Amino acid sequence: MSAAAATRPLLAAGWMMGAVASFTLMAIAGRKVSHELDTFEILAWRSLIGVAILAAALSLRGGWAVVTLQRPGLQLARNGAHFIAQNLWFHALFTIPLAQVFALEFTAPLWVLLLSPLLLAERLTMVRAFSALLGFLGILLVAQPGAAGLSPGLISAALAAIGFALTYICTKKLTAVVDPLCILWWMSVSQALMGLGCAGFDGRIALPSAAAAPWVALLGTTGLAAHFCIVNALRVAPATLVMPFDFLRLPVIAVVGLVLYDEPIGLAVVAGAALILVGNYINIRAPAPAQRAGS
């Protein structure tokens, strides 16, 4: 990161506010269509919209040369993990309070910490291990397994975070050899096919109604918009400044859940979310992990 780029925090903050707004609108849109589309259908239509947007962007920019077939196995593993995680995330979105969904989603970077020694040959330092411990203490507070038992929604949100962690790890490996637009293209294409295949397994694929169609379109655009905003924020400021802005998603979605869906914000969820976010912040501030010798 150049010194000039590192001196543009306000622009980075603006991009991250766009990302926070996009993720929030995506959650609202997902709930709006949940009464008539299942998670497979949502992902199928959302991905088809993504394919159309990316095809237009690549054509206008003359950028089809970046779409290659390098590392197809890794691409498939990444997109399969992301497809499963997204289905679990939407299932959780429909069944538990929004604040719990987003709090548990924020454990994905902590799962990356624990999985990186196995999949990326990175050392797990004491500081990063401590940040993971804080995060998982936060999970216990958010989920409160002893209070009312673990619901399918809570389990789905927790498993979704592991799926997102695997997606991040595969993405890190892919970005070393392929362009980000190539990753997004094959993600959209493969997940559209996976979604259509799973949605049509029973011989029926529901079309969005006239009332649901705008919300489905919003789902398709906000997912791409969120990642576009994050990439642009990282271009003008270091990750240590950019990523803490992402944490604003949690209080914002908690307020949205309270105002739109009358979901109370319990003290245990607030305390657990705080531990998860502190663990993530310690992880961001920690020095980059070294590769193990011989890797």
For position 4, what pLDDT does the model report? 44
3-state secondary structure of 237: coil
For position 1, what pLDDT does the model report? 43
For position 295, what pLDDT does the model report? 45
Residue 101: closest CA among 45, 42, 31:
31
Q: Taking 90 as the threshold, does the pLDDT of residue 236 lie above it?
A: no
For position 61, what pLDDT does the model report? 84
Q: Taking 90 as the threshold, does the pLDDT of residue 118 lie above it?
A: no
Q: Can you give the pTM of this predicted structure?
A: 0.85
Mean of the per-residue pLDDT values of the chain: 86
Q: Where are the alpha helices (DSSP H) in 175-212?
A: 180-199
Q: 151 falls in which pLDDT band (50, 70, 90)? A: confident
Please state, as a whole number, how many other Cβ atoms lie within 10 Å of the Cβ of residue 42. 29
* Interatomic CA distance for residues 43 and 85, integer angstroms: 11
Q: Which positions ≥6 away from 85 have C-beta within 8 Å?
A: 159, 160, 161, 162, 163, 164, 166, 167
Q: Taking 80 as the threshold, does the pLDDT of residue 238 lie above it?
A: no
Convert the pLDDT of each residue in 265-275 to its tens digit.
888 888 988 99
68-83 b/e (C-beta count within 10 Å ≥ 16 → b): eeebeebbebbbbbbb
Convert the pLDDT of each residue in 55-91 to its tens digit.
999 999 888 999 998 899 999 999 999 999 999 999 9
Convert the pLDDT of each residue in 126-145 to its tens digit.
888 888 888 888 888 887 76
Please state, as a whole number, how many other Cβ atoms lie within 10 Å of the Cβ of residue 278. 15
For position 114, what pLDDT does the model report? 85
243: region left, alpha or beta (phi > 0 left; psi from -120 to 50 alpha): alpha
Question: Above pLDDT 70, what percent of the chain?
Answer: 92
3-state secondary structure of 141: helix
**Tokens linked to 95:** 């069944």
**Which residue has better confidence, 236 or 259?**
259
Looking at this protein, which amino acid is placed at residue 225? A
**Which residue has better confidence, 264 or 81?**
81
Q: 5 falls in which pLDDT band (50, 70, 90)? A: very low
Convert the pLDDT of each residue in 25-55 to its tens digit.
999 999 999 999 999 999 999 999 999 999 9
Please state, as a whole number, how many other Cβ atoms lie within 10 Å of the Cβ of residue 285. 11
For position 179, what pLDDT does the model report? 86
**Which residue has better confidence, 214 or 112?**
214
Q: 3 falls in which pLDDT band (50, 70, 90)? A: very low
Phi, psi angle pair for 177, to nearest 5°: -130, -15
For position 2, what pLDDT does the model report? 44
Convert the pLDDT of each residue in 172-217 to its tens digit.
888 888 888 898 899 999 999 999 999 998 888 999 999 999 999 9
60 touches 66 (CB < 8 A): no
* Interatomic CA distance for residues 130 and 136, integer angstroms: 10
Phi, psi angle pair for 80, to nearest 5°: -65, -45
Q: 228 falls in which pLDDT band (50, 70, 90)? A: confident
For position 243, what pLDDT does the model report? 72
Q: 149 falls in which pLDDT band (50, 70, 90)? A: low
Query: CA dist 115 to 103, 119, 133, 165, Å?
Result: 20, 6, 14, 8
